[in-house]
């Protein structure tokens, strides 16, 4: 894939995934530890998703969370735009119920082709819309509708607008951002602004019915100089498609 310097474009993600995690100094910022640390919201998925459908973890990165889902879903497909992320996902112990595919979630034709192969699916996204340019969101939402079909639902959890405040507080107290955050920014990655009200408005505009919405802070494994872990504030939606 072509290298690029535009914020959050696929080329930046490719370069980032090639480097990150290659040394203890370059941790993956959203690698939060155990399944419970990574997805304390799992009960919402278990209650809200039809367990007979496949689960697609869209924008799965290095699969840190994807494989945990195999404990609950028969078929799990992890997709990501970055081949380098999926190479990292493949380096774990092979898991028979999970497979990884390179897929740009905004490539509507490619997403439709995946739906043709696996049928209606539930879709989990964590931190993926804010990891792409906002002008890609309409196609991403179209893709989600195709994947979910009539029976699937989407659970999308995205960094909240409070993240900038959290980082400003950290910089004010300790003089700089944590290294893992600086690394992402240097690679041309920065969370697109997606306040909770816009996240819900986006889904509604594209014909989704919001089953549940909320806020959640997840504790990262990034240590601040005072020994505390950096918390990431999130907003989430659980939605089904009425169109």
Which residues contact ligand SAM by CB under 6 A?
Answer: 13, 30, 59-61, 64-65, 80-82, 85, 104-106, 126-128, 131-132
Instruction: Identify which of residues 37 and 198 has a Cβ nearer to ligand SAM in the complex.
Output: 37
For the CB of residue 221, give the shortest distance to ligand SAM in the complex, in Å.
Answer: 12
For the CB of residue 25, give the shortest distance to ligand SAM in the complex, in Å.
Answer: 19
Task: Tell me which residue of 121, 17, 129 sits closest to 77, measured CA to CA.
Answer: 121
Task: Tell me which residue of 103, 152, 155 sits closest to 127, measured CA to CA.
Answer: 155
For the CB of residue 205, give the shortest distance to ligand SAM in the complex, in Å.
Answer: 19
SS3 label, residue 169: helix
Instruction: Identify which of residues 170 and 181 has a Cβ nearer to ligand SAM in the complex.
Output: 181
Instruction: Identify which of residues 53 and 131 has a Cβ nearer to ligand SAM in the complex.
Output: 131
For the CB of residue 26, give the shortest distance to ligand SAM in the complex, in Å.
Answer: 15
Q: Report the residue count for the chain.
A: 243
For the CB of residue 167, give the shortest distance to ligand SAM in the complex, in Å.
Answer: 15
Instruction: Identify which of residues 214 and 225 has a Cβ nearer to ligand SAM in the complex.
Output: 214
Instruction: Identify which of residues 18 and 97 has a Cβ nearer to ligand SAM in the complex.
Output: 18
Separation of alpha carbons 14 and 104, rounded Å:
12
Task: Tell me which residue of 44, 110, 30, 47 sits closest to 77, measured CA to CA.
Answer: 110
Q: What is the per-residue DSSP string for 65-128? A: TGGGGGGT-S-EEEEES-HHHHHHHHTS---TTEEEEE--TT-HHHHHHHHHHH-S-EEEEES-
Instruction: Identify which of residues 80 and 120 has a Cβ nearer to ligand SAM in the complex.
Output: 80
H and E: helices and strands count for the chain: 9, 7
Separation of alpha carbons 85 and 134, rounded Å:
22
For the CB of residue 175, give the shortest distance to ligand SAM in the complex, in Å.
Answer: 25
For the CB of residue 15, give the shortest distance to ligand SAM in the complex, in Å.
Answer: 10
What's the sign of the alpha-carbon dihedral 194, 197, 198, 200?
Answer: positive
H or E element that contains 156: strand 153-159
């Amino acid at each position: 894939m072509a290298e690029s310097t535009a914020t959050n474009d696929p080329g930046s993600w490719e370069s980032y995934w090639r480097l990150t995690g290659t040394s203890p100094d370059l941790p993956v910022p959203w690698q939060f530890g155990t399944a419970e640390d990574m997805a304390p919201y799992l009960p919402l998925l278990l209650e809200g998703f039809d367990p007979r459908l496949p689960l697609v973890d869209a924008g799965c990165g290095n699969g840190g969370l994807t494989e945990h889902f195999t404990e609950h879903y028969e078929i799990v497909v992890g997709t990501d735009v970055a081949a380098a992320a999926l190479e990292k996902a493949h380096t774990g112990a092979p898991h028979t119920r999970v497979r990884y595919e390179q897929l740009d979630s905004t490539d509507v034709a490619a997403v439709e082709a995946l739906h043709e192969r696996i049928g209606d699916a539930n879709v989990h996204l964590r931190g993926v819309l804010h990891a792409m340019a906002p002008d890609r969101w309409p196609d991403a939402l179209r893709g989600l509708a195709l994947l979910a079909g009539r029976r699937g639902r989407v659970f999308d959890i995205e960094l909240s607008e409070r993240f900038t405040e959290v980082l400003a507080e950290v910089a004010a107290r300790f003089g700089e951002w944590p290294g893992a955050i600086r690394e992402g920014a240097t690679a041309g990655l920065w969370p697109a602004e997606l306040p909770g009200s816009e996240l819900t408005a986006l889904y509604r505009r594209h014909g989704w019915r919001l089953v549940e919405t909320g806020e959640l802070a997840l504790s990262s494994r990034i240590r601040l100089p005072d020994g505390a872990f950096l918390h990431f504030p999130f907003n989430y939606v659980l939605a089904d498609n009425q169109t």
